[in-house]
């Protein structure tokens, strides 16, 4: 075999030669595919990676390094002043607007309790949610347009009730009045006392020394009548629901008539209007703040002490028969309570005041059909 023949065979000379072409490729894609098969896929990938590494290394060598943090700090020259820049205070966390407000409605409303009201609601809206005010309510004492706040207590007073933190009248003294130091003018400024009763209180104090307990006030001329409270009270202390009594117990009204006949009845205006007339055989004194109000056959007073002053020269004991606010005003001066305990727990909007067992003691219990009559005496008078 000659040299020319050996050169025609790759296996003999150890070289790598492209495969023999069977005619020229018809397109560029075909030529490229033929070249890739000849060069090899592995070699092609290695070459691409090498080129990428070379490019990244060259960029890193020629790219300038980032400035150090210290380069951003101000440099103080001689006599220069560097203004101090304080960081901005953190902004207060935003408060989400509550979906509803929760308020407590109490006092002279039909359904006292806790209610949810929408933001922007006012006092009048809370009263409406509680079923509205009752007949003895004094809504003029409230700012019905006041916006409500979450957790607020709305107390609707009854006629004659003084809200905490309010003045009794434009000239009335602020806060409690000390009977042992008050002047005639200070006592006269209290609602319904009047100059005669005020002078009698001061005169009694000057003649007998300071008052040692509230019961001593009953010894003052014009305030010296014995006061008895008579009421029918349910287990939950309810005594009424609007103008109505929420029960009907046979015989209880007859017993009431027996206890009060020939005596002086002191009652609130709403109680009187629910009865509709003076009860026969008894003197009736009606308490009201309305100085223009009058009714045939009754006496009118504008405070409980005023009622006692009017009863001073009349025959009979003072029998307090309601409503709730009159009972509360009479309690400190009463010496006896005769309670018909009704074994029911009805809904109502008028409640009898709580009886303090430290001040009162049960001296008699008498069962009747449908109720029990309980007599309480003030301990200081036992």
Which two structure tokens, joined as six digits, stand for 332? Answer: 């400190």
Answer yes or no: is 277 within a domain.
yes
User: Domain for residue 71, yes or no?
Assistant: no
- pTM of structure: 0.48
Domain tally, the chain: 3
Q: Note the pLDDT tens digit of each residue in 68-103.
A: 544 444 444 444 444 444 555 555 444 555 567 888
- Name the one residue in this structure whose structure tokens are 């009263």: 127
- Say if residue 373 is in the same domain as residue 236: yes
**Residues of the domain holding 108:** 101-156
The pLDDT of residue 282 is 95
* Predicted pLDDT at 9: 46
pLDDT tens digit string along 138-187? 887 788 888 898 888 898 887 756 554 443 344 444 444 677 888 888 87
User: 218 with 235, same domain?
Assistant: no
Three-state secondary structure call for residue 19:
coil
Q: Does residue 314 sit in the same domain as residue 377?
A: yes
CATH code, 334: 3.40.430.10
Residues written for the chain: 382
- Residue 362 pairs in a beta bridge with 376
Contact 367, 259 (CB under 8 A): no
Exposed e or buried b for every residue in 293-307, given b needs 16+ CB within 10 A?
eebeebbbbbbbbbb
pLDDT at position 186 is 80
Of 283, 249, 291, 290, which Cα lies nearest the Cα of 267? 283
- One domain for residues 317 and 350: yes
196 and 106 in a single domain? The answer is: no
In DSSP notation, 331-381 reads GGG-SEEEEEEES-----SEEPPPP-TTTEEEEEEEEETTEEEEEEEEGGG
Of 41-45, 238-242, 247-251, the range with the lowest mean pLDDT is 41-45
Averaged pLDDT, 347-366? 94
């Amino acid at each position: 075999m000659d040299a020319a023949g050996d050169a025609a065979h790759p296996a003999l000379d150890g070289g790598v030669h492209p495969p023999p072409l069977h005619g020229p490729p018809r397109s560029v894609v075909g030529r490229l595919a033929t070249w890739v098969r000849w060069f090899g896929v592995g070699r092609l990938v290695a070459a691409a990676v090498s080129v990428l590494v070379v490019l990244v290394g060259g960029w890193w060598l020629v790219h300038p390094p980032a400035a150090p943090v210290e380069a951003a700090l101000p440099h103080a020259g001689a006599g220069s002043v560097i203004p101090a820049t304080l960081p901005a205070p953190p902004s207060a966390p935003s408060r989400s607007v509550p979906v509803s407000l929760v308020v407590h409605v109490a006092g002279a409303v039909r359904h006292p309790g806790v209610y949810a009201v929408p933001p922007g609601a006012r006092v009048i809206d809370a009263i409406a949610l509680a079923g509205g005010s009752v007949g003895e309510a004094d809504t003029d004492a409230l700012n019905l347009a006041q916006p409500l706040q979450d957790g607020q207590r709305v107390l609707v007073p009854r006629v004659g009730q003084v809200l905490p933190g309010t003045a009794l009248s434009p000239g009335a003294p602020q806060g409690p009045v000390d009977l042992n130091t008050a002047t005639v003018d200070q006592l006269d400024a209290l609602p319904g006392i009047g100059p005669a009763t005020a002078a009698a209180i001061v005169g009694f104090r000057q003649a007998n020394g300071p008052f040692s307990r509230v019961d001593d006030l009953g010894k003052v001329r014009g305030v010296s009548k014995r006061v008895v409270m008579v009421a029918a009270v349910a287990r939950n202390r309810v005594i009424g629901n609007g103008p109505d009594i929420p029960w009907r117990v046979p015989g209880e009204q007859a017993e009431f008539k027996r206890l009060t006949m020939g005596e002086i009845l002191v009652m609130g205006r709403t109680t009187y209007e629910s009865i509709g007339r003076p009860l026969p055989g008894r003197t009736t004194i009606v308490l009201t703040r309305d100085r223009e109000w009058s009714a045939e056959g009754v006496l009118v007073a504008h405070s409980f002490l005023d009622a006692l002053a009017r009863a001073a020269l009349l025959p009979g004991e003072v029998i307090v028969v309601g409503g709730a606010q009159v009972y509360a005003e009479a309690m400190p001066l009463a010496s006896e309570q005769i309670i018909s305990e009704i074994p029911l727990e009805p809904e109502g909007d008028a409640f009898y005041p709580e009886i303090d067992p430290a001040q009162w003691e049960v001296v008699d219990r008498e069962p009747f059909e449908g109720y029990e009559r309980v007599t309480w005496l003030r301990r200081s008078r036992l």
